[in-house]
């Protein structure tokens, strides 16, 4: 399921290879985020740094740029979403969000961990 800024989510077949995944998130590095229920959100890891438009809230953060949702199998490989997962994703991201551009969460931040 593809989710783009300002648009409702829609079903899309995506080839399961690096080039296709990178193309779907606007190029560059992609970041998989596990959402639960066997659903993985794949977004551009540098969406905020690259100035991509804000897309959807995810918890206390904002995902910038296009993203897509996939399922995962027992080996951690990407697979198609089940009907139930599609409905969960549709419900969670159904409405395009409105942003002012002033949200502090739009500022890129770096977290440094030391040992």
- The pLDDT of residue 30: 93
The total number of structural domains in the chain stands at: 1
> Model confidence over 39-64: pLDDT tens digits?
999 999 999 999 999 999 999 999 99
Domain assignment present for residue 111? The answer is no
Give the confidence band of 110 by pLDDT, cuts at 50, 70, 90.
low
Q: Is there a domain that residue 39 lies in? A: yes
Q: Is the pTM of this model over 0.85?
A: yes
At 92, which helix (H) or strand (E)?
Answer: helix 83-93
* Tens digit of each residue's pLDDT (9 = 90 or more) over 1-16: 999 999 999 999 999 9
Q: Would you say residue 112 lies in a domain?
A: no
How far is Cα of residue 43 from the mean position of the Cα atoms in its chain? Answer: 4
Residue 113 lies in a domain: no
pLDDT tens string 20-35:
999 999 998 999 999 9
Q: For residue 64, tell me if it sits in a domain.
A: yes
Given this model, what pLDDT does residue 107 score?
87
Task: Give DSSP secondary structure letters for 9-40.
Answer: -B-----SSHHHHHHHTTSS-EEEEEEETTEE
For residue 21, what are the domain limits? Answer: 2-106
């Amino acid at each position: 399921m593809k989710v783009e800024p300002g648009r409702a989510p829609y079903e899309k077949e995506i080839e399961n290879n690096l080039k296709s995944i990178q193309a779907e998130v606007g190029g560059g590095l992609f970041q998989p985020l596990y959402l639960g229920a066997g659903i993985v959100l794949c977004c551009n890891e540098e969406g905020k740094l690259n100035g991509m438009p804000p897309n959807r809230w995810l918890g206390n953060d904002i995902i910038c740029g296009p993203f897509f949702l996939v399922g995962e199998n027992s080996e951690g490989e990407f697979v198609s979403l089940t009907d139930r997962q599609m409905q969960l994703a549709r419900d969670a991201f159904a409405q395009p969000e409105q942003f002012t551009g002033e949200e502090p969460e739009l500022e890129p931040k770096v977290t440094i961990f030391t040992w």
